Amino acid sequence: MTKNTRMTKQRKAILRVLKNTESHPTADWIYEQVKKEIPNISLGTVYRNLNVLSELGKIQILDYGSTYSRYDGNPKNHYHFRCEKCGRVYDIHIDLFDDINKIVNEKTAFQVNEHRLEFTGLCPICQNEN
Amino acid sequence: MTKNTRMTKQRKAILRVLKNTESHPTADWIYEQVKKEIPNISLGTVYRNLNVLSELGKIQILDYGSTYSRYDGNPKNHYHFRCEKCGRVYDIHIDLFDDINKIVNEKTAFQVNEHRLEFTGLCPICQNEN
DNA sequence: CTATTTGCAAACGCTTTGCCTGATT
DNA sequence: AATCAGGCAAAGCGTTTGCAAATAG
């Protein structure tokens, strides 16, 4: 259970680079930064460690939980629910929180046009499979 | 400007399949469905048409706007802003909307554990580049 | 008629993996 | 010493693309 706990210099460097940036970089960018310090590090090591660090809860990966794109026949904004167990994606039938764009527009320097909101948890089917 | 307007039988079938499903299928699932009707359709045609239909505003693609994964050194939930022009991803420094999980839990049959919220629009840098 | 779209297959590009060597505990 | 991690390169895999033939308008 307690595996992958060796803090090698590669793993430390990757984590430090990621903790010290404001941006949300790609694996390749991280690779280029760490290479300044460990010139012979390989891209595979970067990917492996990013996955390990994510499993350890030290970082997050900002993808859609899958390598597949999913397509939605409804082009209007609406919210989704993704089941953590089976991966199904459902529509959520509630009104949009229209005011949150305004909140961010007022509190930050970003010019917000849209927002996307996704919930995760257990779908009804998987709740009944225990 | 007004291009890609031919409604071929392939394009029609893909759109119909997608409009008539509750799920948010992958391209491959759509391909399998359409093949029942047009057995010699190719997967490339499905992908091409999904992209065309998305540009026409008839459907949405649920990905992160890029094929790259992005990594975040902060493992706690927080919101992001993605610039539509330059693709940069920023943190948004506002409090979490903690109550929306409860709202969905009460109004739907899903068991919500988390939510993810992402805003899109123009970042300060790109706002100044006009 | 002709510009767009298709089918096919190869290419792409990000990510993962196998294998063997090297490092950590 | 035993196990875990790294480097390298090849494989994986969803998606895109080039090209000649087909087709919508």
Interval B24-49 mean pLDDT:
96
Q: With bands split at pLDDT 50, 70 and 90, how would you rate the model's confidence at A69?
A: confident
- Which residues 6+ apart lie within 8 Å of A89 measured at CB? A70, A80, A81, A82, A83, B23, B24, B62
Amino acid present at A78: H
- In the prediction, which pLDDT does B89 show? 85
Query: Of A35, A68, A27, which Cα lies nearest the Cα of A51?
Result: A27
Mean per-residue pLDDT over chain A, rounded: 90
CATH code for the domain defined by B3-72: 1.10.10.10
With the C-alpha atoms ordered A29, A30, A33, A35, is the resulting torsion angle positive or negative?
Answer: negative
**What would the pLDDT profile of A38-49 be if each residue is shown by its tens digit?**
999 999 999 999
Q: Which of residues 3-32 of A touch strand C (CB under 7 A)?
A: 6-9, 26-28
User: Percent of chain B having pLDDT more than 70?
Assistant: 94
Pairing of strands A111-122, B111-122: antiparallel
Could you give the C-alpha distances from A36 to A11, A13, A40, in angstroms and in order?
Answer: 15, 10, 9
- In the prediction, which pLDDT does A26 show? 93
- In the prediction, which pLDDT does A31 show? 97
Interval B21-31 mean pLDDT:
92
CA of A69 to C1' of D14 (A): 9
Chain B residues 48-107 with a CB less than 8 Å from chain A: 50, 54, 57-64, 68-75, 80-81, 84, 88-94, 97, 100-101, 103-104, 107
pLDDT above 90 for B12: yes
pLDDT above 50 for A107: yes
Interval A30-35 mean pLDDT:
97
Does B37 contact A at CB distance below 8 Å? no
pLDDT above 50 for B63: yes
Interval B23-27 mean pLDDT:
91
Ranges A57-71, B53-67, B82-96, B103-117, most confident: B103-117
CB count in 10 Å sphere of residue A123: 22
**Residues A90/A81, Cβ–Cβ less than 8 Å:** yes
Q: Where are the domains of chain B?
A: 3-72, 79-129
**Residues B25/B62, Cβ–Cβ less than 8 Å:** no
Sheet holding A111-122, edge to edge: A89-92, A79-83, A111-122, B111-122, B79-83, B89-92
Cα–Cα distance for residue pair A99/B108, rounded to 1 Å? 21
Pairing of strands A79-83, A111-122: parallel
Give A73-77's long-range contacts (Cβ < 8 A, gap of 24+): A73/B15, A73/B18, A73/B19, A73/B20, A73/B21, A73/B59, A74/B59, A74/B60, A75/B57, A75/B58, A75/B59, A75/B60, A77/A114, A77/A115, A77/A116
Ranges A64-78, B56-70, B81-95, most confident: B81-95
pLDDT above 90 for B37: yes
Tokens read off for A67? 């390598």
pLDDT above 90 for A23: no
Interval A116-124 mean pLDDT:
92
Written in H, E and C, the secondary structure of B96-109 is CCCHHHHHHHHHCC
pLDDT above 70 for A30: yes
CA of A54 to C1' of D9 (A): 25
Interval B29-44 mean pLDDT:
97
| Four-way CATH pick for A79-129: 1.10.3720.10, 3.30.300.160, 3.40.50.300, 3.30.1490.190 | 3.30.1490.190
Asked if B72's CB is within 8 angstroms of A59's CB, the reply is: yes
Scanning every strand, the nucleotide with its C1' closest to B43's CA turns out to be: C7
Cα–Cα distance for residue pair A68/B67, rounded to 1 Å? 10
